[in-house]
Structures are given as C-alpha cells and as structure tokens.
Amino acid sequence: MCECVNDLPSQPLRLLTMELLGYWIHHPDAMGTLEAMVEWWLLEHRIQQATIELQSALSDLVANGFVVRRQEADGRTYYQLNREKEAAIIAWLQSK
C-alpha cells in the first residue's frame, strides 16, 4: 500500500480515495466492512452526486427549451421532452 496518497497510480483510485476520506470527514465515527462501504457509503455519495449532476443537466435542458418542466398537483416536478424541438435536439446531438 502507498504511504502517501499522492503516490497512488491511477486517477480512479485517487478519486475513490478522496470519496472515502470525504465520507470520513463528514462521518468521523463511521466504521464498516468493505461490503458495507460499497453498499452504503459509496452508494450514498454517488447517488447524491448523480442527483446534483442530473438537476444541473435538467436545468440546462429546460433553459434551452429541449425539455419542458411541469409542476403537478401532487407537488412533484415532472420533465418531458419538448416534442416541438425534436429536430433541433437531433441536430444538437449529432453535432456533439
């Protein structure tokens, strides 16, 4: 095992190391097995990150008019493809 985090060989391993240390900073009394860390700690963190990223992507898509956002009577927000922009969406996807 490396004595120094900076000596770790690959970017994914460095990111994982940062995730683990970040979790422990926020939960300094946490302790668990490898299986518990995979099932709970990392999964929780990655779901939180994915939620933030998805919200940002949806906001961008709504701002560009590619997606329509609706607030329903149940209080939840729903997102749907803006069918009127299909040609523009296809052109945008092909340009990427």
Q: For 34-83, what is each residue's pLDDT tens digit?
A: 988 888 877 887 898 899 999 999 999 999 999 999 999 999 999 999 99
Residue 4 φ then ψ, to 5°: -125, 135
The rounded distance, in Å, linking the Cα atoms of 91 and 96 is 9
pLDDT of residue 51: 95
Residue 44, CB-side half-sphere exposure with 13 Å CA sphere? 10
Runs of H (alpha helix) within the chain? 11-26, 34-36, 43-63, 86-95
Q: What is the pTM of this model?
A: 0.64
pLDDT of residue 1: 47
pLDDT at 13 over 80: no
Query: By C-alpha distance, which of 92, 34, 47 is closest to 66?
Result: 92
